[in-house]
Copies of this chain bind each other. A is one copy, B any other.
Amino acid sequence: MQALVFANGKLEYTLSHPQPKPADDEVLIAVELAGICTTDLEIIKGYMDFTGVPGHEFVGAVEKGPRDLTGKRVVAEINCVCGKCDMCHSGLSNHCRNRQVIGISGRDGAFAEYIVVPRRNVQVVPEAVSNETAIFVEPLAAAQQIVQQVSIEQRHKVVVVGDGRLGLLVVQVLAGIGAKGNVVLLGKNENKLTFAEKRGIQGVLLEDMLIKPEWDIVVDCTGTADGFQTACRLVRPRGKLILKSTFVPDKPVDLSPLVINEVTLIGSRCGPFPNAINALAAQQVVTNGLITASYKLQDGIQAFEKAKNPDQIKVVLEIKS
């Protein structure tokens, strides 16, 4: 089958990747649409030492699996867990000690014609949610995870640092919970800030921002050392900093503001899919306009190049139409 494969430090398009076969507790999905995320860009730089087919934001149709799922349009949670380790037993199965993560660790992902995932990971996509919206289920669930970990109240002054793919979802989630006037998106791109402003959320250009430790809650969605440094400097004493991006800074970050201001930093990763699907179906979170480029799978290398461009929001791969 067609696939993008990362091996020996190189991403390549191939026509001859073996089609995966589902085990008894797995389903075979024909991928229809997949999104490229910052983690994918890190993976092709060597993150997680991953080799194989990347891609974990996708929607497709079940070709083989239990009768109730066959033919259904589905998405899939990315953590494939053992159900047996201390983490699984303590209700933290996303942190399973033996987990594989679709397209990220130990398991082929979605930048291919077919993908196999555990049955338990699959969630059916309702009619109201198009493919172009469904690929945002995974990053939106990650954005919503913040609210599972941190109590955010209307009185809190909240700033989301980074106006990229993730920041534009996070700020919608937080503005939906806090008072909209207290939630600000901080970024470098006027066109992306405009996206937020159309939804009634204040966007501020970095150059116009007063960098002082006065914000109750700061979410870093930049995935850069500079962005994280800015975030550290914005949190008020005893405030909270949520770190969303898995990245290796390219330079040292001065962490002393975290100690001096006794900041609580909370690492935040994946979230549950059902809430995300509901929020998209109810249009509480809007994704129209977030897809800025679309490529066929055979042009996947170009798609990755495009996704590195800071002008882009979400670049997608059309795999089966």
Contact = CB atoms under 8 A, between A and B. Distances in A.
Interface of A: 47, 87, 92, 95, 149, 225, 228, 237-238, 243-256, 258-269
A259 B245 contact: yes
Contact of A92 (B238, B247, B267): B238
Contacts of A244: 259
A264 B265 contact: yes
A246 B262 contact: no
Nearest to A268: B262
Copies in the complex: 2
Contacts of A251: 252
Contact of A259 (B246, B249, B250): B246
Contacts of A225: 252
B256 A246 contact: yes
Q: Which of A237, A243, A245 has the most CB of B within 10 A?
A: A237
A247 B238 CA distance: 19
A233 B265 CA distance: 16
B256 A247 contact: yes
Contacts of A260: 246, 267, 269
Nearest to A263: B267
A92 B261 CA distance: 10
18 contacts: A92-B238, A95-B237, A225-B252, A228-B255, A247-B255, A248-B255, A248-B256, A249-B252, A249-B253, A249-B254, A252-B253, A253-B253, A258-B267, A259-B268, A262-B266, A262-B268, A264-B265, A265-B267
